[in-house]
Structures are given as C-alpha cells and as structure tokens.
Amino acid sequence: MTSIEDVKRKNETWLMALPGVVGVGIAKKAGTRVIQVLVKDVTKEVRDKVPSMIDGHPTDVVRVGEIRRL
Amino acid sequence: MDIAHAKLVCEASFLGVAVDGLKANVNPNVQGVGIGHKVVHRIATKERALQVYVNRKVHPRLLAAEDRIPDEIEGCPTDVVETGTFAIGRKFPPIYQRRLRPALPGVSVGHHEVTAGTFGALVREGRDVYILSNNHVLANENEGKVGDPVLQPGKFDGGRPDRDTIAQLAGFVTLDADATNTVDAAIATPIVKDDVAPEVLHIGRPKGEAEPEIDMAVRKSGRTTRLTEGRVSATDVTLRVMYSDGFLVFTDQFLVSGARTGFSGPGDSGSLIVDAENRAVGLLFAGSPFTTVANRWSNVAKALKVKLVN
C-alpha cells in the first residue's frame, strides 16, 4: 500500500480545488492515521465529493473556518 | 489597631488628602488606597491589610527611602498592588502588550506600519543576534525595506517610532503569491544589544529543536492570548491562508488545537511553539477560531540560516 504521505501529496491538488476545501493534512482518528480534509464549513457537497477512503487510507473532513494570518 | 484610621494616614501621606492633624504628602506612584485581605504567597489570609495601589511595582531597594511603602502603617500590614493608572474605561495592558526592556520573546512587536505581532525568539547567525518573528509582523508582507524601524510594543499597543524603536528590519523570506510557501518569517537587528534577552516570557529559554508529531503537547507565549497549551492535531498540512492581498498557499505546515480555550488569536503571530522540554517546534503565523497554523521550526531556521540563541 502506498504511504499516507504519498497518497496525500498525490491527491491534494484536486481535493483543494473542491469548493470550500481550505487545506489537506495528516491527522489521527481513533489511533489511525487519516487524510484530513480541512474545510471552511462542512457542507453536503463536500461530504459527497470527498471519498471516505483514498488508495486504502481513510479520510476525515474537519471544519476549520477561514484561516487568516494572525 | 484601627485599620480605618491607618487608611486615613495613608490617604494623607500618599495621596495628599487633607486630614486634621496629619501632614499631607503625595507619593506620585500611589494611585489609591483600600482595605482587603493580607495576601501571603499569593494566597489571601484572614488578616486585613491596607492595599496601596501603585502604577508600577518596583523592588523596594530600587526606590528612594521616601518613596517606599512601609511594611506596616499604624500597626496594620500593607500590600502593594500594581494596578496601573486608573482611568475611565481604559484597562492597564498586560506585560505582553507593554514596553519591556530587555524585551523578552512573547511580547508585542511590529514593523512601524503593522498593527502588532509577537517577538518569537532571539536567534543568531554567527555572532549577529536577531529578533525573529513573521514576515507579516516585521516586514509588512514584503513591503518593508531593510533598516525599517521595528517597534516594541507594536503600533497597536501604543509603540511610537521616536521612543519605542527596538530594532531594524534585517531580512525576510519573501511571501510568494504565485508559488507555494513554507515559512512566514523575518529577522530584525536590535539597536541596543542589551535591550533583548532570549528567555521566552513565562516559558524560559528554548533548548534545542524538535519536529512536530501528531498529539505532541506544545505551548506558546504570545502578545494576545499569552501563555497557552495545546496539542499538534495535524502535520504535513498544505493549506490556503488569507493575507491582505488574497490567499497564499503554504505546504509542510502543522496545526495545533488549544488544550482548554483557543491556542491563539490575532497578534499572536510570530510566537515560538515549543514542546514539553522547551524544544523549538514551530513558528505560529495563522489561524481561525477553530485551529492554529505554524511553520516547522526546522524550515524557519533553514530559510533564514539562523539558530536559537543559547
């Protein structure tokens, strides 16, 4: 299986092109590493377009709002 | 002992209030007097004490004998309480937002045309020592010129170029709108070497470096939300961040979630993020009400060719 880092890197361009997606990273959920998709708001559209698994790695959609310089 | 009488003596001898049979005198540092519980080692005791409110608390040895507040007045113990100057609707700002010399990492700093950010760390390249923060704090998002004044506190906190210039912009990593970025970082040269020190306010001296890992416990000391604790929630993050002229894309970032309240707020930009052993992990630069974003420390050190002062 391709490493989660490689899968994330290969898929981040199209993921970030989805409306409402702010970023993509790697996080942990219940002890498992996941591809975290950062969104401004969790919408049905985003939920429908982000697959639950990408190349064998689970995804997790997380609301982060709008990220600004502080 | 009669604490009410002792308070009258205070009012006469510090505030210049006319009281029959007492000599009126004014201590310019005293802002007011009151009665409260005597505080010992930060804990209120049952004993009552005279509270003497002062603009700034100064060690008694640094004061002229006539300016010192006695430990006891008319047999009543005193407590000196720093309140700042009382004014209508205006709070005395915390140390993080005040002028401080030597300035410590954690306090307000900023390019003279920027509101305010945070002095992150004292770094060096060879023998040259620099104040490190973000490009958008010290270099005004690429608009700053080498030599521009950097204020402590920053402009938003009342810093003025004629009085509060602590350093001059020395260099920055250009923020690129047409490519990906890994750091938002800049350095400034202190004008007077002894006006800066390396101990991060309420954290201490950073020691060594570490890479961020998911679930790592971290802390930061910053201008707005001060000392906060959190955990690394994501690594390898690529994301878009809103700047004055639009979005910039950053790669190789990490996210931090606050342990109790938020980890950061506007003005905390430039704060150094350290792990439980005070090792430098990242440079805080962006966020939202939900999360905080930081550059990896190793990328910052590499891009500016600097090391922590130790």
DSSP B138: H
B140 and chain A in contact, CB less than 8 A: no
Q: What size, in residues, is chain B?
A: 310
Residue B299 has pLDDT above 70, yes or no: yes
Q: How far apart are CA B208 and CA B310, in angstroms?
A: 9
Q: Please give the single-letter amino acid code of residue B173.
A: V
Question: Which chain B residue shows the shortest CA-CA distance from A11?
Answer: B238
Q: How far apart are CA B108 and CA B188, in angstroms?
A: 14
Confidence tier at B19 by pLDDT (50, 70, 90): confident
Residue B274 has pLDDT above 90, yes or no: yes
| Phi, psi dihedrals of residue B107, rounded to the nearest 5° | -90, 165
Beta strand ranges found along chain B (DSSP E): 30-40, 43-54, 72-73, 76-82, 108-111, 117-118, 121-125, 128-133, 149-151, 165-172, 180-181, 186-190, 217-222, 226-243, 246-258, 272-275, 280-287, 292-296, 307-308
Residue B89 has pLDDT above 90, yes or no: no
Share of chain B above pLDDT 70, in %: 99
Residue with tokens 């996210």: B255
**Mean of the pLDDT values across residues B69-94?**
84
A26 and chain B in contact, CB less than 8 A: yes
**Interchain proximity A26–B236, CB inside 8 Å:** yes
**Interchain proximity B214–A67, CB inside 8 Å:** no
How far A17 CA lies from chain B's nearest CA (Å)?
11
Q: Please give the single-letter amino acid code of residue B251.
A: T
pTM of the model: 0.78
**Interchain proximity A24–B233, CB inside 8 Å:** no
Confidence tier at B92 by pLDDT (50, 70, 90): confident
User: b/e per residue, B138-170, with b = 16+ CB within 10 A?
Assistant: bbbbbebeeebbbbbbbbbbbbeeeebbbbbbb
Pair of tokens at residue B236: 């390898």
**Interchain proximity A27–B233, CB inside 8 Å:** yes
Question: Which chain A residue shows the shortest CA-CA distance from B249?
Answer: A23
3 state SS of B282 = strand
Judge contact between A38 and B239, C-beta under 8 A.
yes
B40 and chain A in contact, CB less than 8 A: no
* Contact residues on chain A for B266, CB-CB shorter than 8 A: 68, 70
